[in-house]
Amino acid sequence: MRTLILFFLATSFTSLLALDIKAEMGTGLFYSGAKGRIDYVEESFRGSNAVTDISSASNFYVWGDFESNNKLLPKLRLEYLKISAEGNSQAHLESPVQEIKDLIDQYIDPLQLNDKNWNSQLQHNIYDIDLYYEFFEKSAWPSIGLGLGYKYFDYIYIMDIDLVPGLQFGDRDSSGAPMLFFTSRYDMPSIQMGFEADGKVYVFGDSDMYDWKVKMDLMFEIDDTTDLGAEFGYRQQYFNLTGSDVENVTGNMTYEGIFVGIVIKFK
């Protein structure tokens, strides 16, 4: 799936280069921790991991926004965010299989290993592809953009449990979902400052997912075709994976915090 998405991004960008387009790109750091829980169930084992204190970290992001001179074509926005966090989590281990349950009762519960904090790591890659139309761009009012997108994400979650040296407890998985996309922007051309808000929400299945951010950017003209500037904002992503959207793994994770980056605009 990741290969298909990267191929789509590459071919989309190549196709856009063949058109007369305007491009805007940015990259920076998203200062976010991770809060929530990851639960999973197998045939002989159930594990419930409550993430209680994943510390804030500087997470890398990059995005691009492309607009063709053909107004019948939608705008294209591509985004990538890498979450990398480390902190403490609680593990609660249980099993419907009597033999495993006996082992838990004999070795884990007496040592009070259940519901105890353990060092944990979380790696999460999030990819977004959005196609949208924007209205009222040249008016005195904020513009409004509406469209559809697709959010693909994978994660690796590892918890180090000191039962025996080297024992780790965790899971890895990936998934994707269609999203509704909206955006609004207000520019102040006299001082090259802009304010923007956008959001994505999943309404097509059992899970709850949303991703929103607000930002301010300040641009400086380099020449007649290029602006360079900085962006500052706040972002929150929420994943509540459940029901028919998932198999063995359910999750309820939130990433939120400020982000700071640089922006380049090709007019």
148-163 pLDDT, tens digit each: 999 998 888 777 766 5
Mean pLDDT of the residues in the chain? 81
Q: What is the mean pLDDT of residues 44-53?
A: 60
29 CB neighbour count, 10 Å cutoff: 15
Whether 166 has a pLDDT exceeding 60, the answer reads no
> Cβ neighbours of residue 68 under 8 Å, at least 6 residues apart?
16, 19, 20, 21
Tell me what pLDDT residue 4 has.
47
* Measured torsion, CA atoms of residues 204, 68, 71, 15, in degrees rounded to the nearest 10: -70
Q: 226-241 and 249-266 as β-strands: parallel, antiparallel, unpaired? A: antiparallel
User: Which of the four pLDDT bands, split at 50, 70 and 90, describes residue 17?
Assistant: low
The pLDDT value recorded for residue 41 is: 61
Domains of the chain and any CATH numbers? 2-266 (2.40.128)
Which has the higher per-residue pLDDT, 241 or 12? 241
Identify the weakest region by mean pLDDT among 28-42, 54-68, 101-115, 118-132: 101-115
Per-residue pLDDT for 82 more than 90? yes
Contact 126, 155 (CB under 8 A): no
Rounded distance between C-alpha atoms, residue 66 and residue 30, angstroms: 22
Closest CA to 130 of 114, 150, 146, 155: 150
pLDDT at 253 (0 to 100): 84
Structure tokens at 112: 């009070």
43 pLDDT more than 70: no
DSSP letter, residue 11: H
Rounded distance between C-alpha atoms, residue 85 and residue 32, angstroms = 8
- Confidence band of 200 (pLDDT split at 50, 70, 90): very high
| pLDDT number for residue 137 | 77
**Which H or E run contains 7?**
helix 2-17
What is the 8-class DSSP label of residue 245?
Answer: G
